[in-house]
Structure 1
Amino acid sequence: MRLDHSQAWDRAIAGLQKFWGYSQFRPLQGEAVTSLLKHQDALVMLPTGSGKSVCFQLPALLQSGLTIVISPLIALMEDQVQALQAKKLPAGMIHSQLSSQKRRQTLRQIEQQQLRLLYLSPESLLSPPIWQRLGDPHLQIRCLIVDEAHCIEQWGSSFRPVYRRLGSIRDALLPKNSAAPITVAAYTATAKPTTQAAIQTVLRLHQPQVLSCSPYRNNLDLTVEVAWTPACRRQKLLAFIGRQAHSAGLVYTSSRRLCESLAAWFCQQHQPTVAYHAGLSAPERRRIEAQWLQGKLPFVICTSAFGMGIDKPDVRWIAHYHPPLSLSAYLQEIGRAGRDNLRSQTLLLTSEPTGWLDPQDRQMRQYFLKQLRGQQASAQRLVHRLPRQGHIDTITKAFPEADLALALLHQSGHLIWEDPFHFRILAAQGFNPPLIPTKLDITDYLYTRQCRWQFILQQFGFDQEAHHFRCGHCDRCRSRTSKSRSFH
């Protein structure tokens, strides 16, 4: 039964009260929920902390059938599924670190249609045991959700090419002559205009409702400081944390190794903390999260694995020991501060532009770009050796790097996925892979002289809001104000 807007909205409000105990939605949440209740594709871009998960969890609970949630990180899946299961809601997950017993239990739940929400990585979704069960014509699949959808552009043509195959899933799962549609929706906190276009194209969204909210947060103070040496970087971070009066915060680092060594150093400085990264066991990660959420640990030294899906409203500060590799990642990570709308601080430490005294930042960026260029070069050499059509498993056995070559062909419009496993190359002649940037977008942000929030607004397509914008509370605006005062 298709609902009109008024019916969908009333049903959504009633469900929000029933499952979450809230009487009203946050901005754009209600519109996102009703779009799925009306079986309309959607692209939803809401800042970190805006409650994106409710936008697809609530429709799944209000409708019959199964909603599949494609999620990129195990930690994120576990956080969301455990929160749902704590409410006794029918949600499950399958990932590579799940025990065989729990995997079999979830597979039985799928067969017996006991779940409303099933969380999977894209690789798990297309694995034979799961795909076979999802292909059962008696299984009603209501919706396909791609969470953290910016990964389609960020990883789809490099580290996780399986993302380029997601657009063919809807038709492959839809039973022949079925009148029941499968809705596809994408959710992310950050998507530049080019990323939005890539998401819509790859997922083959049908006239989607596009919902976006400005990334500007008036309670987040943005500060970037130059650290001339590694020792200076540690001391600046130590001084910053010392000013936070034991309030809750997170320190993001670029690697597991650095995470461990920095946590050890802070403990030596009588600042008790621990390292958190994807290399820890699931019980250990849960223990650290619980200690931090309960205030037993004021701050955690972590990689990007920490924070997704964790709802702690009173995080007062976020620090980056090194710049992340993208402006999108930076915006997502600082967005974990100040969810209670109270003033919160952010600090990003970077080397000076030449990197002569501390070359780590420059080396990390160069290494990342070098990896991308190497992958593309290998793929380009392989393109003309591939058959014009075939099965992904067969071709990757013959050519281990074929999945990336196929992803690049797909990105450039030279290939179509007839289903998630069978490809057809339209023409390899004239194939040129997309250009790898000579620098990352975070680099311009680090050294810009303009208002930092204005820079972010421009980068994410909010040009009208960015026009003559001054936040008044980033380091650039504060510097400009202090200089102005010094002349009076």
Structure 2
Amino acid sequence: MHTASPEATLQQYFGYKQFRPLQKDIIDQVLAGNDALVLMPTGGGKSLCYQVPALMMEGIAIVVSPLIALMQDQVEALQRNDIAAAFYNSTQTSSEQSEIERQCMDGKIKLLYVSPEKLLSGTFIEFLQRLQINLFAIDEAHCISSWGHDFRPEYAQLKMLKKVFPSVPVVALTATADKTTRNDILNQLNLQQPETFLASFDRENIRLHVSPGQNRIKKIIKYLETRPNQSGIIYCLSRKSTEQIAQKLKDAGFSADYYHAKMDSNRRAAVQQSFLKDDTHIICATIAFGMGIDKPNVRFVIHYNMPKNVEGYYQEIGRAGRDGLKSDAILFYSYGDVKILREFIHNIDNEGFKALQFAKLERMLQFADADICRRRILLNYFNENFQQDCGNCDVCRNPPQKFDGTILAQKALSACLRVKQQVGINALIDVLRGAKNQQIIENGYHQIKTFGAGKDVSFQDWRDYLQQMINLGVFEIAYDQNLALKTAELGNQILAGAQKLLLSKPTEKTFAKAPAERPKSKKAVAKEGLFEALRTLRKQIADSQSIAPHIIFNDATLTEMSDNRPYTKADFLEVSGVTQTKMEQYGQTFINEIVRVSVAQYQAGATVKGASPLTTYQLYKQGLTPKEIVAERAKAEGKALNPVTVEGHLISLYKKGYSVDLMRFTNATAVSDIQQVLHQDLGEDGFKGIHEQFGGKYSYFEIRIAKALLGE
């Protein structure tokens, strides 16, 4: 039995009027009782895909989440939206856990968040069998795959869920999984006839930039000086460097701290809370920090060192701009970083896993070295065919010289097919260049038609071109088949002559500078001023309630308030992210601040939408008459308003629900007399007829007041 509709549930509990792409399709799949695999980038709205159906269906949803801090933050945010959610983990006493179990049994909880360890411990499964479970949601599902970048052995046991609860739909969700990992997730979880939903991995609001590693601290400080009070994360390879960089930033006057796994757990928790509450703006951290951070206003993610794989990089930069606002992802790299990462991998005992990690590191290096659109590389890595340059990365802003590489691609594709798509990059180059080494001779590759077809191109240039082709989606790498190159759909089109391919000429790598900021308009300055005032108010309220500011409203919601300036409760409810519950909790306080700032900006000479009537209102509250208001405003603004305009302001404010006593400007007899004739057909004369009918006894203002009091 489904209550309401997905759209009504979304509006009621989350304050949004429409779903993002694929969300509604996923929700319908779950409501129909079917399994699903959901791939959606960080900030893309994965959680709504199980939260909405959980609220609509009878029973309780069980959400498996890997980190305690993350589930606690999510539950707190849900509770603020008047949703019955709870978490069940090792931080709680036995009496607290017993109380949650009782509430679950009584049907008082709709979403219960648990860790995989807790889910599979002791008698918890037996407890779950006594509940009416409507769905299981497996968050960070890539952790179940050894092909993924963050394999966790405890996740592997989740395959038993479909055995114990065969009729309960399971929705597995992740932001980072290539094709091999996706297939492994489906197999490991034993999902039954699942549908895979692959949302676009494109995070258009994140600007990508790669820079050489020289003078990193100077570059970072220069960047931060242009972004005061913004939140950001700086990822480092070592614990020592997190502490050193944080100290250098503090010495430079920034609000910074560090975070790594060897810190005392209480200290780590304090740092994380300080960051969530906007008390600390910058965290220098190892990758131990981040998965548990549900903070939508992170404006930049900086990698001080090169990450070890593309999946990790993509997940980490995804922590920027979760609210959809413009954010930056900056990567510094040097071959010293690569050397350290290679040493890490050399220490892995499992040879197969070691080879996989080396291959993934190589792809990360290719990304850093690339001279083609970086967004295309990222999206094609996740098998999303993206053929347009983004215009929002350093390469696009400083484009390299291009040439028609179609024939080169056709030679490489033909050779790949003739060796039955069984060799990696180096071997394919050997075939193309006509190298007669042992591997080539033993496999008979020297006898194929395309042997030596590219001997006029150097080995290094071929490697550069093939890396570009991989990045562009011409080839795929099969990590589970000894890193063999496979022709992708785009490659088949090129081979058939149906598609051209542009490649970049190999050059010395140069890095583009960020475009200069244009001078801000007066309107933009006023908008930013209101945003900062609302951000300050949000912080004050959050501190008084000991919660993270974004739990009240995120930056995207504050931005919309700054754009639209809602002066009434009805308008405030139209803002995306404002629910009825939040309207009742915070609405009037925020409206008052919007009014206060708007009037102040208007009086300072800014053009502010709707501020003129509010200025009249402020003077009305001081007891002034319309004529006195006109005089005061003329004195303050240097120009005289028509008294009729001020009278119109007061009537309009009354109709919008402001506390305006129109009877201050008339009397009961006048209102009664006028209302008795308002229903008459006044023809073209309108109010003039009423005015003359009473011999000028009642002013036009009184006539308009009488009509307004009728609700007309």
Please give the range of the TM-score, normalised by the shorter of the 2 chains: 0.7 to 0.9
Match of 1:445 in 2: 367
Match of 1:208 in 2: 194
Match of 2:341 in 1: 364
Compared with structure 1, are the counterparts of its residues 273 and 112 closer, same or farther at alpha carbon in structure 2 (3 Å cutoff)? same
Contact 1:69 1:145 in 2 (8 A): yes
TM-score (norm 1): 0.73
How far, CA to CA, are the matches of 1:257 and 1:348 in structure 2?
19
Compared with structure 1, are the counterparts of its residues 121 and 255 closer, same or farther at alpha carbon in structure 2 (3 Å cutoff)? farther
Match of 1:148 in 2: 140
Q: State the shift of 1:104 in Å.
A: 3.6
Match of 1:473 in 2: 392
More helix by share: 2
Deviations 1:356-377 (A, max 9, x none): xxxx55323431x245x31x37
Alignment of 1:52 with 2:29, yes or no, is: no
Compared with structure 1, are the counterparts of its residues 95 and 279 closer, same or farther at alpha carbon in structure 2 (3 Å cutoff)? farther
Contact 2:62 2:114 in 1 (8 A): yes
Tell me the amino acid that sits aligned with residue 480 of structure 1: P
How far, CA to CA, are the matches of 1:127 and 1:327 in structure 2?
33
From 132, 137, 154, the equivalent of 2:126 is 132
Instruction: Give matches, 1:247-326, under 5 Å.
Output: 247-277=230-260, 288=271, 291-292=274-275, 295-308=278-291, 312-326=295-309
Match of 2:487 in 1: none
Match of 1:239 in 2: 222
Tell me the amino acid that sits aligned with residue 376 of structure 2: Q
Contact 1:144 1:185 in 2 (8 A): yes
Q: State the shift of 1:278 in Å.
A: 5.8
How far, CA to CA, are the matches of 1:273 and 1:103 in structure 2?
36
How far, CA to CA, are the matches of 2:355 and 2:104 in structure 1?
42
Structure 2 residue runs without a partner (length 5+): 402-509, 513-712
Tell me the amino acid that sits aligned with residue 211 of structure 2: E
Alignment of 1:333 with 2:316, yes or no, is: yes
Alignment of 1:119 with 2:41, yes or no, is: no
Match of 2:72 in 1: 78
How far, CA to CA, are the matches of 1:46 and 1:196 in structure 2?
12
Match of 2:379 in 1: 457
Tell me the amino acid that sits aligned with residue 148 of structure 1: E
Compared with structure 1, are the counterparts of its residues 163 and 481 closer, same or farther at alpha carbon in structure 2 (3 Å cutoff)? same
Compared with structure 1, are the counterparts of its residues 462 and 283 closer, same or farther at alpha carbon in structure 2 (3 Å cutoff)? same
Alignment of 1:220 with 2:220, yes or no, is: no
Contact 2:371 2:399 in 1 (8 A): no
Contact 1:222 1:346 in 2 (8 A): yes
Compared with structure 1, are the counterparts of its residues 21 and 346 closer, same or farther at alpha carbon in structure 2 (3 Å cutoff)? same
Alignment of 1:197 with 2:117, yes or no, is: no
Contact 1:307 1:333 in 2 (8 A): yes
Deviations 1:225-264 (A, max 9, x none): 1214xxx333332232223344332222345544333322
Name the structure, 1 or 2, with higher relative contact order (CA <8 Å, separation 6+).
Answer: 1
Match of 2:33 in 1: 39
From 436, 439, 461, the equivalent of 2:356 is 436
SS at match of 1:317: strand
How far, CA to CA, are the matches of 1:40 and 1:208 in structure 2?
7
Deviations 1:187-246 (A, max 9, x none): 111221111111111112222222222212233211111214xxx333332232223344
Q: State the shift of 1:126 in Å.
A: 0.9
Contact 1:94 1:106 in 2 (8 A): yes
How far, CA to CA, are the matches of 1:99 and 1:277 in structure 2?
27
Alignment of 1:184 with 2:170, yes or no, is: yes
Compared with structure 1, are the counterparts of its residues 102 and 321 closer, same or farther at alpha carbon in structure 2 (3 Å cutoff)? farther
Over the matched positions of the two proteins, sequence identity in percent amounts to 37
SS at match of 1:150: helix
SS at match of 2:145: helix
How far, CA to CA, are the matches of 1:95 and 1:218 in structure 2?
36
SS at match of 2:154: helix
How far, CA to CA, are the matches of 2:254 and 2:398 in structure 1?
30
Q: State the shift of 1:433 in Å.
A: 7.8
SS at match of 1:480: coil
Deviations 1:310-365 (A, max 9, x none): 555543322112223321222122223234544322211111x3x2xxxx553234
How far, CA to CA, are the matches of 2:304 and 2:260 in structure 1?
15
Match of 2:424 in 1: none
Alignment of 1:63 with 2:49, yes or no, is: no
How far, CA to CA, are the matches of 2:353 and 2:306 in structure 1?
27
SS at match of 1:436: helix
How far, CA to CA, are the matches of 1:39 and 1:337 in structure 2?
34
SS at match of 1:222: strand
Compared with structure 1, are the counterparts of its residues 126 and 365 closer, same or farther at alpha carbon in structure 2 (3 Å cutoff)? farther
Contact 1:49 1:311 in 2 (8 A): no
Contact 1:13 1:23 in 2 (8 A): yes
Q: State the shift of 1:182 in Å.
A: 0.3
How far, CA to CA, are the matches of 2:122 and 2:297 in structure 1?
43
Deviations 1:102-125 (A, max 9, x none): 334334444544432222222221
How far, CA to CA, are the matches of 2:40 and 2:151 in structure 1?
25
How far, CA to CA, are the matches of 2:289 and 2:354 in structure 1?
31
How far, CA to CA, are the matches of 1:318 and 1:433 in structure 2?
28
Instruction: Give matches, 1:70-109, under 5 Å.
Output: 70-109=64-103
Alignment of 1:18 with 2:12, yes or no, is: yes
Match of 2:332 in 1: 349
Larger radius of gyration: 2
SS at match of 2:53: helix
How far, CA to CA, are the matches of 1:112 and 1:93 in structure 2?
16
Question: What is the root-mean-square deviation in Å for CA atoms of aligned residues?
Answer: 3.1
Deviations 1:91-112 (A, max 9, x none): 2223334444433433444454
Tell me the amino acid that sits aligned with residue 36 of structure 2: A
Compared with structure 1, are the counterparts of its residues 242 and 293 closer, same or farther at alpha carbon in structure 2 (3 Å cutoff)? same
Structure 1 residue runs without a partner (length 5+): 175-180, 378-431
